[in-house]
Amino acid sequence: MIALGLFNYWAVIVLMMVGFYTLIARGNLVKKLIGLNIFQTSVILMYVSFGKVEGGTAPILIEAAEHGAEAAEPILYSNPIPHVLMLTAIVVGVATLALGLSLVVRIKEAFGTVEEDEIQSASL
């Protein structure tokens, strides 16, 4: 994947911008939350791609005894720290999504609509 180089980051930035566009350009509140979800997942993808090590494997320690004669060669693992941080980020993301969706349900019951411009004209 070294050949891809920066292309990986640029592709993820394109995905982030797709989510960002959905967030700011659409008026429906549920659509905005879906865009936020996509934005969050793309950011998590970005962080995880920072932790990737070329030629490495998943950070689960392999018993050195299995290798026998090749025990001298150190095994390369991918960086586990972004994985830990992103685990937390995913769970916090779903917590935020649940709160946002419950707010949308209450807005619908209070205003009768979840379109942003109709809500603004109703409450002015």
Q: Which of residues 1-20 bind another protein (CB under 8 A)?
A: 1-6, 8-20
Q: Which residue number, 68 or 112, has a Cβ lying nearer to another protein?
A: 112
Among 67, 71, 106, 120, binds another protein (CB under 8 A): 106
Does residue 67 belong to the site contacting another protein (CB under 8 A)? no
Nearest approach in angstroms of CB 106 to another protein is 6
> Which residues are paired to 57 by β-bridges?
77
Nearest approach in angstroms of CB 68 to another protein is 18
Does residue 65 belong to the site contacting another protein (CB under 8 A)? no
Q: How far is CA 19 from CA 16, 72, 93, in A?
A: 5, 46, 14
The number of residues that bind another protein (CB under 8 A) is 91
Does residue 71 belong to the site contacting another protein (CB under 8 A)? no
Nearest of 37, 32, 35 to residue 97 by alpha carbon: 37
Nearest approach in angstroms of CB 72 to another protein is 16
The binding track of 19-48 with respect to another protein, each residue x by CB under 8 A or -, is xxxx-xxxxx-xx-xxx-xx--xx-xx--x
Longest dimension (CA), the chain: 76
DSSP summary character for residue 112: S
Nearest of 65, 88, 83 to residue 75 by alpha carbon: 65
6: burial class by Cβ within 10 Å (0-12, 13-18, 19+)?
A: exposed
